[in-house]
Amino acid sequence: AQAALKKVQAEKKKAEAKKKAEAAGEEYVEEEDEEEPKEEDVKEEVKEEEEEKADEPDEWEETEELIQARKDLKSGKKTVASILFPYGEFFADSPQPLFPATSYAADMDVADGCFRYLQKMFQEVEECHAFELLRNSHDRGNYLITTHARIIAMTCTHAALTRSTLVNLNFKYDNLIMEESAQILEVETFIPMLLQQSDQGVSRLKRVMFIGDHHQLPPVVKNRAFQKYGHLDQSLYARFVRLKTPTVDLNLQGRARAQIADLYSWRYKDLGNLSNVLTDKRYRAANAGLSHEYQFINVDDFEGQGESQPTPHFYQNLGEAEYCVALFMYMRLLGYPANKISILSTYNGQKALIRDVIRQRCAWNPLFGEPSKVTTVDRFQGQQNDFIIVSLVRTNHVGHLRDVRRLVVTMSRSRYGLYVFGRFGLFENCFELAPVFTRFAKRPRKLSLEMEEPAGETERACGEIGKPTLVKDVHHMWALLQDRMKAQFASAAQVVASGSGPVASGPASE
């Protein structure tokens, strides 16, 4: 049929061409006919077309997968959502079956959850794309601050140094928390509030929270004139308290033993104790080798001298320095970790002297080592440790300890033990310090040790006194320390000689 149709069309074209030639007066030249396709070739082409059609799948032919899906739908084993879900292989490692098939809505919830997981995954990939473009750490840090960071911590000084950078980065935040705000200068308090551009003249900052203690040390202002007449040592936090701004007062402490907290709780309104300081075993047990959890040790002149000033206002007291280091070494022999003991002083000169004594006496010996910190009370504000040894230095005048805020800081740094060395007769007559020193006066003014108590934990309860040994002075303390060292070393030698292995307690076993 196709061949016949082609033949008819060819003859028609010839007739039209012949008419055009006659009308133009030209001679018509008949073109040679194309060779007609052979019947065999036509049959072969038809056969190939039929084979190709046979290879193509029938749109309406049902596959086994479709038949099985219909059976599952009829039996209720699966829902449309679970059958059409395209990522079954990807979630093959999740708990199976992936779809509960209890209802269409339940399966749709699972499918939605899977899609949310995939969206989150691609979102994380997209977020990491920026790190491929940003090559240096500075640009990457700025990117994290402005896009990913939810909490950013910095000091007021750093905020002042980087303010222009943060503003240019279009840095935004809604909430500001200032910790130790009672120790920050009033003008410095405003710097963290101005790290972003205002929106049409209105700051987007919604909430500012000050956390601090105005009963402790204020900001440091070295210029006396500014401090006294300009009141620059008053923080914004203290100003709000002075103006009777409503505050939320914390009325429970969970750091120190209840007995130690009693030394400064009088300064606060209704300050109580959390349950942990009343029930935990470590708070209820006494300090091994020491009769009291806190004590004021009176230190008389050492070799005929009390306080000294190698240079003006550089106060030192050699007797107290030696006493403090001797107590530290005694505690180390009893197994107290060095990083749990700190030595504080109220003056920089005494801090330097104590460090010199430690280097000479025990820093070189691995049995003792050095305390966690040797620093001043002012520097130690905001920190704490298990055991605090304090040197008050002065023997002629009370000095700046007369500031009750510094006294509160000194008394509130320890958890389990507080041992203060100073001239008791000088400080007990100071009216501002009376609430604390009346409590110290109820206990012996000589260091009370439990020399018969073994190293390690003690079964003695807090507040219970065993067989105390009262230390007369610094020389007596060093003698007792030497005896303790000899006894402990002899015991260790016997254990090693008997082949029982190393000693199980004391600093050497840490």
CB 383 within 8 A of CB 354: no
**How many angstroms separate the CA atoms of 365 and 508, rounded?**
11
pLDDT at residue 508, rounded to an integer: 39
pLDDT at residue 32, rounded to an integer: 55
DSSP E strands in 367-493: the ranges are 373-376, 385-391, 414-422, 448-449, 469-470
**Average pLDDT for runs of 10 along the chain of length 510:** 68 76 66 55 66 57 76 82 86 87 88 91 83 83 85 92 89 92 91 88 89 90 83 90 92 93 92 92 92 95 92 93 96 93 96 96 91 95 94 93 93 95 93 94 94 84 90 94 88 77 45
Helix and strand element counts for the chain (H, E)? 20, 11
DSSP percent split of the chain into helix, strand, coil, nearest 5: 45, 10, 45
Token couple for 416: 């389990």
Element (H, E) at 404: helix 404-411
Distances (CA, A) of 74 to 68, 82, 180: 10, 14, 69
**How many angstroms separate the CA atoms of 217 and 500, rounded?**
53
> For the chain, how long is the longest CA-to-CA vector?
151
Q: Give me the torsion for CA of 96, 98, 101, 102, rounded to 10°.
A: 80
Q: pTM for this structure?
A: 0.71
pLDDT at residue 96, rounded to an integer: 86
**How many angstroms separate the CA atoms of 19 and 14, rounded?**
9
pLDDT at residue 126, rounded to an integer: 82
Picking from 479, 478, 476, 508, the residue whose alpha carbon sits closest to that of residue 491 is 508
**How many angstroms separate the CA atoms of 235 and 184, rounded?**
6
**How many angstroms separate the CA atoms of 374 and 359, rounded?**
12
Q: How far apart are the first and last CA of the chain?
A: 106
pLDDT at residue 506, rounded to an integer: 46
**Alpha helices by DSSP H, 280-413:** 281-284, 318-333, 348-361, 404-411
Q: How far is CA 138 from the centre of its chain?
A: 22
pLDDT at residue 396, rounded to an integer: 93
pLDDT at residue 505, rounded to an integer: 46
Element (H, E) at 210: strand 207-211
Query: Reduced to 3 states, what is the DSSP secondary structure of residue 489?
Result: helix
Token couple for 134: 């940003």
Residue identified by tokens 């002629």 is 396
**How many angstroms separate the CA atoms of 316 and 313, rounded?**
9
pLDDT at residue 463, rounded to an integer: 87
